[in-house]
């Protein structure tokens, strides 16, 4: 077969397939729908990532883990051990999926992955920061506690307010002879015992209504405090009644 014949044979084969409708042109609507799905899928992924990261931050706030670095190297160690690694892994997987999805867009693949990842991270942090400024997660957590949240109830109950061994976070609900009482975001009440083993900066003036993080050993509802740090009060984590009346809502 000479070159011209060979050329014709390829062209004829292709044209015959088209003529005999062995191959059919996909309609424009197919590509429009595909683009809509791609954009929609990317938006859903962004939404999931922001929700998940804001939820991780919420769980770190409610458990008091976010304040642990204040306790120095022991606190930092507990902080890393208490991170919700499963949720972090899911967030990373979703981010990689979003990166793969967004690679279909010209404005994304023309730039180094570093930039698109940076943009995803910035959007996620801004989004989760804004969500954590609202009462969304605390409200959902309370609804989950009251079993009014089908579907994601388990997530909030299991991960929402994790317990970290020897770490207690709450609002001081009363001063006692040997310490004070706190109410945690779960609504539990603990009696904090301060003695010679407790590290508490002398200049720290603890008053009713203050938010504190305590490192200590629990025995029933008593906690022998080793270290106490006063922290910024996080109003969103507690119900208004807890802050004003110090009445636990859930037992």
Partner 1 sequence: MKQKNIQQSDEEIVALIQAGDIDFFETLIHRYEKKMKRYARKFTSDDEEIKDIIQGIFIKSYVNIQSFDPKRKFSSWLYRIAHNELVNALKKKKRNILPLFELDTFLPHSLQDNSLSQNIDRQDIRKMIDKCLDQLKLKYREPIILYYLEDLSYKEIAEIMRIPISTVGIRIKRAKEIMKSIFKKLRYTL
110 binds partner 1 (CB under 8 A): yes
Can you list the alpha helix ranges (DSSP code H) found in the chain? 3-19, 28-63, 73-82, 85-102, 106-109, 113-133, 136-145, 153-155, 240-244
Binding mask 31-70 for partner 1 (x = CB under 8 A): x---------------------------------------
Cα first-last separation, the chain: 88
| CB of residue 40 to partner 1, shortest distance in Å | 18
What tokens does 157 get?
A: 């109950």
- Residue from 20, 73, 106, 205 touching partner 1 (CB under 8 A): that is 106
Q: Please tell me whether residue 163 binds partner 1 under the rule CB under 8 A.
A: no
Q: How many CB atoms neighbour CB 121 within 10 A?
A: 13
**Position 201 contacts partner 1 (CB under 8 A):** no
93 near partner 1, judged by CB under 8 A: no
Q: Which two tokens stand for residue 80?
A: 């890393």
Q: Which of 18, 154, 201, 204 binds partner 1 (CB under 8 A)?
A: 18
Cα–Cα distance, 38 to 46 (Å, whole number): 12
**Residue 171 phi, psi dihedral angles, 5° rounding:** -105, 135
Q: Considering beta carbons, is residue 15 or 119 the nearer one to partner 1?
A: 15
- For residues 242 and 102, the answer to whether their CB atoms sit within 8 Å is no
Q: What is the spatial distance between Cα 238 and Cα 228, in angstroms, rounded to a whole number?
A: 20
| Minimum distance from residue 105 beta carbon to partner 1 (Å) | 10
The answer to whether 4 contacts partner 1 (rule: CB under 8 A) is: no
**Residue 112 binding partner 1, by CB under 8 A:** yes
- Looking at 4, 26, 107, 202, which residue binds partner 1 (CB under 8 A)? 26
**Site of interaction with partner 1 (CB under 8 A):** 6-7, 10-11, 13-15, 17-19, 23-28, 30-31, 103, 106, 109-115
């Amino acid at each position: 077969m000479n070159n011209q014949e060979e050329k014709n044979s390829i062209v004829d084969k292709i044209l015959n397939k088209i003529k005999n409708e062995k191959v059919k042109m996909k309609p424009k609507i197919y590509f429009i729908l595909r683009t809509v799905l791609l954009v929609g899928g990317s938006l859903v992924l962004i939404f999931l990532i922001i929700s998940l990261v804001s939820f991780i931050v919420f769980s770190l706030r409610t458990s008091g883990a976010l304040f642990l670095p204040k306790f120095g190297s022991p606190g930092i160690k507990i902080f890393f051990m208490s991170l919700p690694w499963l949720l972090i892994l899911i967030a990373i997987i979703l981010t990689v999926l979003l990166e793969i999805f967004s690679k279909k867009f010209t404005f994304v693949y023309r730039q180094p992955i570093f930039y698109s990842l940076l943009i995803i991270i910035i959007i996620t942090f801004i989004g989760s920061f804004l969500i954590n400024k609202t009462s969304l997660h605390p409200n959902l957590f309370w609804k989950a506690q009251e079993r009014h949240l089908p579907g994601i109830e388990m997530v909030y109950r299991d991960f929402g307010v994790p317990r970290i061994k020897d770490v207690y976070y709450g609002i001081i609900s009363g001063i006692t002879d040997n310490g004070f009482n706190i109410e945690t975001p779960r609504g539990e009440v603990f009696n904090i015992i301060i003695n010679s083993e407790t590290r508490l900066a002398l200049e720290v003036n603890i008053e009713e209504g203050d938010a504190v993080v305590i490192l200590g050993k629990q025995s029933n509802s008593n906690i022998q405090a080793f270290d106490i740090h006063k922290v910024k009060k996080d109003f969103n984590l507690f119900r208004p009644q807890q802050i004003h009346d110090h009445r636990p809502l859930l037992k």
